Amino acid sequence: ASATAFALPKASRGLPEGSLAPSFGLSDTRGDFVTLEQLLAAGRPLILLFTKFDCPPCLAMADEVDRWSKIHSHLVEIVRIGD
């Protein structure tokens, strides 16, 4: 399989490397409101994985990401964020 690389416009590249993430809050799958500060409270590194529920590659890796989250929960917090 081949991949096509493209550069995003400079304004779309997000925060500069090393920047602190802005505070946010979202509803989880149970409807509970969760903030970034709550996710960071355990003191472990946090991976925010942004996905789309109708994205075939995102769906294909969902079970694997959940497995990583369980296996490595003592080292890192992995949170999937989707629309």
3-13 pLDDT per residue, tens: 445 555 555 56
The pTM score is: 0.70
49 CB-near residues (< 8 Å, 6+ apart): 65, 78, 79, 80, 81
DSSP lists the bridge partners of residue 49 as 80
Tokens encoding 70: 């369980």
More confident residue, 83 or 79: 79
Give per-residue pLDDT as tens, 10-46. 555 677 888 888 899 999 889 999 999 999 998 999 9
What's the CA gap between 15 and 13, in Å, rounded?
Answer: 7
What's the CA gap between 75 and 63, in Å, rounded?
Answer: 19
Give per-residue pLDDT as tens, 42-78. 899 999 988 888 899 998 998 999 999 999 999 999 9
Residue with token string 């942004």: 50
Closest of 66, 27, 28 to residue 47, by C-alpha: 66
